[in-house]
Amino acid sequence: MRLLPLFAGVLSLATSYTPLCATAVASAEQRAAEMLSRMTLEEKIGQLYLQHDSAEEALIRSGACGALLNLTDAETADRLQRVAVEESRLGIPLFLGRDVIHGYRTAFPIPLALACSWDEEISYKAAAVGASEAAVVGYNWTYSPMVDISRDARWGRIAESFGEDPLLASRLGAAMVRGYQTPQEGLPVGMAACVKHFAGYGASEGGRDYNSTLIPPRELRDIYLPPYKAAVDAGVLTVMTAFNDLDGVPSSGNRWLLTELLREEWGFDGMVVSDWKSMDEMINHGFCADEREVALRSAKAGLDMEMVGHCYINHIASLIEEGALDMATIDERVMYVLKAKYAMGLFEHPYRTKGRESVILSKEHKNAALEAACRSAVLLKNENDILPLSKGVKVAVIGPLADAPHEQIGTWCFDARDEDSVTPLVALREMLGEDNVLYAPGVSYSRDSSRDGFAAALEAARNSDAVLFFVGEESMLSGEAHSLSDIHLPGAQEELVRAVAKEGKPLVLVLMTGRPVIITDIEAEAEAILAAFHQGTMAGPALAKLLFGEVSPSGRLPVSWPVEIGQIPIYYNHKNTGRPAKPDDFVPLDKLPLAQKQSSLGFTSSYMDLQPQPAYCFGYGLSYGNFEYSDLELNTDKMRMDGAIEVSATIRNTGRREAIETVQLYVRDLVGEVTRPVRELKDYKQIALKPGESCRVSFTLLPEQLAFTGIDMERKVEPGMFKLWIAPNAQSGLEGSFELLP
């Protein structure tokens, strides 16, 4: 057995870097206070302004701007930073921000795909590589990680999320924070990270971006807030507020969220920035009458820096003059900005890392992106072990994503270039030789509804030994403001899949999408299905390696994959309800006899016409190995409040290939003072086993891991009976039980 880097790596990542360590904070605090004492009101207001449009030297020289966003070239960044540091009265360096979400020039898989790796080391590297490339341009601040929990594949930004589970999103988000903020050559902090969007943005109603969120307070604490908290605990330097209103209060004016929870309860000492004009938008929300009131509400709520809007710069001075705002409130806002700049060493290291341009798209970075792509594909189906294919075969390569360099990069990657992408077609030709690859895309882009290319695709299929069909979505079909009400494959893709399947050749579907898409109507046509999502620059080589067995797929779903859109929101950690649905509690409507009485159906919490379970559940994923779980053992079936339980099981690879298994620990609290989820992920470990090899995987479960928000909104651990599972996914596994003693 080989323990994956996860084991060694994560520990070292967890302990090697603490940006806001006690002494750094103390000295940042002192230095910021000293700086503050020398500042005019105008200079203070300037520090609260993140500017996008006109980066003028005069403005920066006067100290009227503390941060810039999206400068695109190194020379400008360097020049403006020098103006701030060398020509402004106080020499306060600028935050230079950029969205480096899944890589900079070397694009990594989209965050949803990274999450499929369940591997903190992979997220850490994606962030660290992105930071080192972006630092070359001069960026010192990025707006990532996004840790918004999402249960709705219609929401375009699910692509940017780590999925539906709080533990998984917490671990991967915290690892990204460490990755961005880890020291890079010459810089004590690669980039300041910014956890976003605080809070609950992923619950936008109906999956429509920017929509209101209605999250019950207990659900907020148990499901939505933990990943932001984990980022704070990992030392994230900045937090971004969300666009949405949360139970009626927009985040950018939510004092409970930004001050009581974030600062007073969690002890966050970094800086809070708004999202793009999210302060102004409180007027549209109907929460503020005008920009003046916006400035007042946000300043009092605890929002430090305004992104792009002008509410602070236009109104703070007059609000102070009128006595509506006191100087202490503004001083507090400015202190957080200055402290973050001091804490990350920006005063000592304001300039870009010159001379390090060679890191961009370096071999090491491409290899890291390749590894991430290999680890992030999820094998959903593999009938008769049709995969991996053997290299002697002639393949038909079909589908609009087979050779779409731009689309495979995925959403939110401003700086990756199409010409750097290696597509599946290119990689397969290289691996198999030109003659063994018959390429006919069938449709030319994902939304293409023309059938003109069908005949050529069918002919390629006919002349091949196997069909590799790269279906998917263009990158612009997911991401911010790109929600969809229909998440089937667009255009004529489904029709083409059906037509090609009729040729009778083994058919492998590779899904290159920004979200889980509905594939129910074409699933049976394919022997194998690999969910790859948008994998970035190195998608092609990764997919070639996976399809031809150089690497075994090991990804696991971080979200429940719906059968139909009508199931959404769908998530594994739901409540049981008073009438839990059973898997077969549905009747296809055409089988429903006429003149039925009301009592003839099951009276359970299900749809009449659709199974309650997802197509593929959270945690699911196959590999080229075959893992059997046996011999569950608990060292005791009674846990004391100050004790722990050791639970272990034997995992054996009975398959014919080495593969990685993600062993998951789930718990169910059977009776609670409030209803509890049917399963909750509590831990997981990854192991690599050779054929025939087995190992015992054990977990230590502590009472604290059983805590939840009780009836009085206090976090508590309640005695009683629990079930647990050591499982390959959220719907199966070895079951045990224990009692937590009072």
**Nearest distance in Å: CB 241, ligand BGC:** 10
CB of 99 to ligand BGC, least distance (A): 5
C-alpha distance from residue 220 to each of 233, 242, 618 (Å): 18, 14, 20
Which residues contact residue 246 at a Cβ distance below 8 angstroms, ignoring those fewer than 6 apart?
199, 200, 213, 215, 220, 254, 257
| C-beta closer to ligand BGC: residue 272 or 695 | 272
**Length, in residues, of the chain:** 742
Contact 286, 47 (CB under 8 A): no
Does 152 sit near ligand BGC (CB under 6 A)?
Answer: no
**CB of 284 vs ligand BGC, minimal distance in Å:** 15
- The token pair at 178 is 């460490």
The residue (of 99 and 133) whose beta carbon lies closer to ligand BGC is 99
Map residue 717 onto helix, strand or coil.
Answer: coil
Q: Is 470 in a helix, a strand, or coil? A: strand
Parallel/antiparallel/unpaired status of strands 378-382 and 271-273: unpaired
Distance CA 170, CA 184 (A): 24
In angstroms, the CA 688 to CA 577 distance is 38
Q: Which of 99, 148, 275, 669 is catalytic?
A: 275
Which residues in 473-532 contact ligand BGC (CB under 6 A)? 480
Q: Which residues pair with 305 in a beta bridge?
A: 273
Q: 275 vs 474, which CB is nearer to ligand BGC?
A: 275
274 or 408: CB nearest ligand BGC: 274
Residue listed under structure tokens 């559940």: 617
* Shortest spacing between CB 535 and ligand BGC, in angstroms: 21
* Residue 465: both structure tokens together: 């030994």
143, 155, 586, 725: which one binds ligand BGC (CB under 6 A): 143
CB of 549 to ligand BGC, least distance (A): 38
**Residue (219 or 480) nearer to ligand BGC, CB:** 480
Across 575-644, the runs of DSSP E, i.e. the strands, are 627-634, 638-639
Cα 225 from chain centroid (whole Å): 14
* Residues between 272 and 331 that touch ligand BGC (CB under 6 A): 275-276
Beta strand 378-382 pairing with 306-307: unpaired
Task: Supply the minimum distance, in Å, between the C-beta of residue 119 and ligand BGC.
Answer: 24
CB of 157 to ligand BGC, least distance (A): 8
Please give the residues from 163 up to 202 whose contact with ligand BGC meets the rule CB under 6 A.
196
Which CB sits closer to ligand BGC, 202 or 540? 202
| String of contacts with ligand BGC for each residue 455-484, x by CB under 6 A | -------------------------x----
The question of whether 712 is a catalytic residue gets the answer: no
Site size toward ligand BGC (CB under 6 A) is 6
Per the CB < 8 A criterion, the answer to whether 317 and 44 are in contact is no
Binding mask 264-283 for ligand BGC (x = CB under 6 A): -----------xx-------
Write the DSSP assignment of 150-184 as a string of letters. Answer: ---TTSGGGGGS--S-HHHHHHHHHHHHHHHHS-B
- CA distances for 707 relative to 640, 668, 704, 714, 717, angstroms: 14, 12, 5, 10, 4
Site string for ligand BGC, 87-116 (x = CB under 6 A): ------------x-----------------
Kindly tell me which of 104 and 616 has the beta carbon lying closer to ligand BGC: 104
Catalytic residues: 275
Q: What residues make contact with ligand BGC under the rule CB under 6 A?
A: 99, 143, 196, 275-276, 480
